[in-house]
Amino acid sequence: MTRMAHGSARHLPQTSGWLTFAGTLAMVIGAFNVIDGLVGLFNDDYYLVGNNKIMVFDFTAWGWFWLILGAVQIAVGAGIIAGRMWARAVGVLFAVLAAIGHIAFLRAFPLWSVLTIAMSILLIYALTAPPPRARG
């Protein structure tokens, strides 16, 4: 709480390093997913799976999924850094979607998927650990 010259008090929002970290991490995961999407769209032969199918989708469908999810995650990361509460909730949702999607994508690119799953779990923790009224 800060005391002003005329005697009134003003409440400052709590800042959280976790939220700044979470916003940055959401943008990094989003960038990874955009790269995944572009590779899936333009270079089907890059991935390790031979029959060009992962679960039920081909690489083109996965490419669009990762591209759209990554673009949204980058925007959500900017919202988290700006201190928007809606971005924190949406960030958790899209981190869960990315983790589940990368579990399905494990056969195609194992190392990249495991790294992204680990970062998604860390992102979920970073978004849920700070005080409820904290800003990035």
**Do the domain assignments include residue 11?**
no
Location of structure tokens 């333009």:
42
Going by C-alpha positions, the residue among 86, 89, 46 that lies closest to residue 66 is: 46
Only one residue has tokens 């970290």, namely 21
Residue 6: inside a domain, yes or no?
no
Evaluate whether 34 touches 67 at the Cβ level (below 8 Å): yes
Domain assignment present for 117: yes
The neighbour count for residue 85, using CB atoms within 10 Å, is 13
Task: Kindly report the average pLDDT of the chain as a whole number.
Answer: 83
User: What does the pLDDT read at residue 10?
Assistant: 62
* pLDDT tens digits, 36-90: 889 888 886 666 665 655 555 677 888 899 999 999 999 999 999 998 989 999 9
Domain residues for the domain of 25 are 17-43+58-128
